[in-house]
Amino acid sequence: MDDNCIAEKKRLALSYLTEAWEEAASAGVDVEILAHAAMFRAFADLVETYGEEAVAGLAHTLPDRIRAFEFSLSRVVQ
């Protein structure tokens, strides 16, 4: 699978997740609860696919990636 195909699938997946997220939020589910449920589901699927050690390694990289704004949808630069 080439990089363009992967990028398009990622955009499509994010679009579906965003739609479901907005629907759940509109139904009254708190965004903090949505976030915890989404992380649980994501990690559970990754563990099933790659195993605990590989996912623990991925999770270990998250603090630096978060601090590098990889997961920030909007950021204020001062």
How many residues does the structure list for the chain?
Answer: 78
Per-residue pLDDT band at 1 (split at 50, 70, 90)? confident
57: enclosing H helix or E strand: helix 52-67
Distance CA 9, CA 13 (A): 6
pLDDT in tens, 11-62: 999 999 999 999 999 999 999 999 999 999 999 999 999 999 999 999 999 9
pLDDT at 75 over 70: no
pLDDT at 77 over 60: no
Mean pLDDT of 5-11: 94
The token pair that represents 77 in the structure block: 């630069």
